[in-house]
Amino acid sequence: AFKKSLGQNFLIDTNILHNIVSEADLTKEKGVIEIGPGIGALTEQLGRAAKKVMAVEIDQRLLPILQDTLSPYENIEVVHGDVLELDLKKLIEEKMTGVEKLSVVANLPYYVTTPILMKLLEERLPLENIVVMIQKEVAERIAAKPGTKDYGSLSVAAQFYAETEVAMIVPASVFIPRPNVDSAVIRLKVRDRPPVEVDDQDVFFRVVRSSFAQRRKTLLNNLMNGLFPKTQKDDVIQMLADIGIDPTRRGETLSLDEFARLANEGMRRGLIT
């Protein structure tokens, strides 16, 4: 009855469910969006802790079960659909009136973790916290600091939009069926504004992506291949010197602040258009 293709691993440990809910700082004034309620175990806890819950489930077969389990809760509404396709901004406006703050709490389907998180962050939805169970390895990448092996574009993107923290590591044994990987709960505290001054967000993320393009190459080589193919190498070396970044460093040692300086200065000098 489980659909592996939909990432259906259901949580069966009540303690873990409680711990996830408590990470989200919910109150009876706040709202929650749950992605993938499954058979509704986490959903029930959310219904008890929050003012309103909207639970988005893609699998039609689960709807009657959810309706049954959740019928005592007037503050829970199940929406049938693919979270990646739905207009969340509109749904929030329609369904979350009168809530003080809004968070996302979920045990995510692992095959779409990154697209879901990037959608939640990039659409700049009015969210306070995103507390989600994901693959442990992805959680570590999201929260990684510069210079570590896990640090990459996903770390920069997540940390641009949110403060990130791995809240707990969760063994595979608390799920049915048991997944092949360990899991972790990650907490993203969504920022009001990015932690660095960025003149153009697209350029910033282009700089980040090209800096990480080939991990064993120097920053300078990656930039010359990806971002500045038509620029004189000397101009790029000069710019890096002027903003205090050693061109022989690896891209994966740069902080968000250094990526921002690189993007802003590259634009100012007309090297990036």
Helix (H, G, I), strand (E, B) or coil at 249: coil
Query: Does 11 help bind ligand SAM (rule: CB under 6 A)?
Result: yes
Span 139-158, contacts to ligand SAM by CB under 6 A: none
| CB contact at 8 A, 4 and 109 | no
Looking at 16, 33, 35, 203, which residue binds ligand SAM (CB under 6 A)? 35
Pinpoint the alpha helices (H) of the chain.
14-23, 41-49, 63-70, 88-95, 113-122, 136-143, 153-161, 201-211, 219-226, 233-242, 256-268
Q: Which residues ranging from 79 to 98 are in contact with ligand SAM (CB under 6 A)? A: 82-84
- Please provide residue 16's backbone torsions phi and psi, each rounded to the nearest 5 degrees: -65, -40
Which tokens sit at 198? Answer: 């960025």
In this complex, which beta carbon is closest to ligand SAM, that of residue 119 or of residue 217?
A: 119
Is there binding between residue 10 and ligand SAM (CB under 6 A)?
Answer: yes
> Least distance (Å) from ligand SAM to the CB of residue 107?
3
Applying CB under 6 A, among 53, 56, 239, 272 the residue interacting with ligand SAM is: 56
How many of the other CB atoms lie within 10 Å of CB of 136? 19
Of 8-16, 94-102, 123-131, 218-226, the segment contacting ligand SAM by CB under 6 A is 8-16
Using CA atoms, how far residue 2 sits from 62, 176, 180, in Å, is 10, 9, 15
Determine which residue in the list 7, 31, 47, 146 makes contact with ligand SAM, applying CB under 6 A. Answer: 7
Interface ranges with ligand SAM (CB under 6 A): 6-11, 35-38, 41-42, 56-59, 82-84, 107, 109, 112
